[in-house]
Amino acid sequence: MIGITWKDCYATHVGCFDSEHQHLVALIDQYFRAIRENRGEQVVDSLLEKILDYTASHFAHEEKMMREHTYPRYHAHRQEHLKMIASVKGFQSLLAEDGTDTGEILLTIRNFLRDWLLHHIVEEDQKYGPFFNQKGIC
């Protein structure tokens, strides 16, 4: 697996969220690169914290906009956000444990981040595109 790059088919057509998603893809790609260059163990803590921070503020932004416009899938969507944050925190705890096979977990985290982000954008985030567009938000 080489990395993760932004593709136009990931667009939600809500400009601010597409920019944030592009930034998230780039952050996760940094993680891919670090693993390829055998720097995974050195950067995992700080990079995961960075990804978690950015993700949390992105989720808060989406949720705020959903509440403001009474988006009908708000609760289901928010549950997915909460699960993602809990999973990343779980990985952080696992990394902090003694005797963890770090090499193995680095790859598990990498695959989780890629699969989760792309799945969430395509399956959930893209559903709000037409809704917000109809409200004049592009």
Site residues (vs Fe ion, CB under 5 A): 62, 125
Q: Smaller CB distance to Fe ion: residue 48 or 62?
A: 62
Given the complex with Fe ion, which of 17 and 35 has the nearer CB atom?
A: 17
Minimum separation from the CB atom of position 24 to Fe ion (A): 8
Residue with tokens 């609760």: 75
Cα angle vertex 101, ends 99, 107, to 5°? 150
Residue of 7, 2, 1 whose CA lies nearest to 118: 7
Closest approach of Fe ion to the CB of residue 73, in Å = 10
- Is 25 or 106 the residue whose CB approaches Fe ion more closely? 25
Alpha-helix residue ranges (DSSP H) falling in the chain = 15-36, 40-68, 74-96, 102-120, 126-134
Question: In this chain, which residue has its C-beta nearest to Fe ion?
Answer: 125
Quote the least distance from Cβ 32 to Fe ion, whole Å.
19
Q: Which is nearer to Fe ion, 76 or 107 (CB)?
A: 76
- Burial call 76-107: b when 16+ CB within 10 Å, e when fewer: ebbebbeebeeebeebeeebeeeeeeeeebbe
Give min distance, CB of 66 to Fe ion, in A. Answer: 9
Q: How far apart, in whole angstroms, are the C-alpha atoms of residue 32 and residue 20?
A: 19
